[in-house]
Amino acid sequence: MGQLIKVCKALTVAGSDSGGGAGIQADVKTFQEFGVYGMSVLTAVTAQNTTGVQGVYPVPLDGLEQQLTSIGSDLKPDAVKTGMLFSGEYIESVAFFIKKFGWSNLVVDPVMVAKGGASLLGEEALEAMKMYMLPLAKVITPNIPEAEALTGIEITGDEARHEAARILFNMGADYVVIKGGHMEDEFVSDLVYNGNEMCELIDKRVYTKNTHGTGCTFSAAVAAELAYGKTMENAVRNAKKFIQTAIEHGIDVGSGHGPVNHFAYRRILHEQH
């Protein structure tokens, strides 16, 4: 009989993107690329492609809770990430189960609106996000509009982004990463704050319309690295390299805002041999 290999495991609690570029699909693809065993708990099914979101169908609450219980009673994740959580009620429930099972290394990507503008989280859910999820988070990874919604600050430049990071840290996350994809600069900077120091992860902006799922992919990569036991500093640095490569080596999929290339790293290695 073959010997069983010990693997690190990561869980994503998020929505399904039928088009395969964001949500659960982006997360599990990313886990796989990092060599981490991926698990998923679905909050909602979206009918979606590269042109937009055509429908959102939440999983019934007891279905969500049964998935969490099934994972918790058998498979202990080394890291957990949350993406689209759909509603305040679902957020409260997910937070309850994370505490109940003692899951750590929690990456909270506070997904609110899809790139095309469709809402993926009810407005009433903001308070639940602050009250139940942020105190459990090892790291929160909002984009600029999400950081603005959570803090009530308009982020017009560096000073405001620093202030927003301080506010988010005080809401309970150990680390805050405010991603800069939505700013217009030639370089894309992600601000990282640990309650002590602010630092920036910077790389060249790729001028492309194919950035569907960048945030999901980045936060899943952070979770994969944390599952391995990497420090947060190394986790975010490697996640930034991974997403940069995935955007630079784009793939031709769909007629709208296409997905990033989750297997870009592997393909580059393959081509070198």
Ligand X SMILES: Nc1ncnc2c1ncn2[C@@H]1O[C@H](COP(=O)(O)OP(=O)(O)OP(=O)(O)O)[C@@H](O)[C@H]1O
Ligand Y SMILES: Cc1ncc(COP(=O)(O)O)c(N)n1
Hey, which residues are catalytic here?
179, 211, 213-216
Largest CA distance in the chain: 60
> In b/e form, how buried is each residue of 73-108, taking b as 16+ CB within 10 angstroms?
eeeebbbbbbbbbbbbbbbbbbbebbeebebebbbb
Site for ligand Y contains 23 (CB under 6 A) = yes
Stretches 32-40, 66-74, 86-94, 239-247: which one binds ligand X (CB under 6 A)? 239-247
Contact partner, 30, from ligand Y, ligand X, none, Cβ < 5-8 Å per class: none
Q: With residue 269 as reference, give the H or E element that holds it.
A: helix 264-272
Q: Which helix (H) or strand (E) holds 61?
A: helix 61-72
Determine, following the binding rule CB under 6 A, whether residue 114 of this chain makes contact with ligand Y. Answer: yes
Q: Please report whether residue 15 would count as binding ligand Y according to CB under 6 A.
A: yes
Contact status: 236 vs ligand X (CB under 6 A): no
For the segment 186-215, give every residue that binds ligand X (CB under 6 A): 188, 190, 203, 205-206, 211-215
Residues 184-213 that bind ligand Y (CB under 6 A): 212-213
- Residue number with CB closer to ligand X (118 or 131): 118
Q: Give the residue, chosen from 181, 250, 254, 256, that forms a contact with ligand X under the rule CB under 6 A.
A: 181
Cα separation values, 188 from 91, 137, 206, 261, Å: 30, 24, 9, 18
What sections of 82-157 are H helices per DSSP? 88-101, 125-128, 144-151
Quick check: helix, strand or coil at residue 250?
coil
Closest approach of Cβ 202 to ligand X, in Å? 9
Using CB under 6 A, list all residues that contact ligand X: 22, 115, 143, 179-182, 188, 190, 203, 205-206, 211-216, 218, 240, 243-244, 247
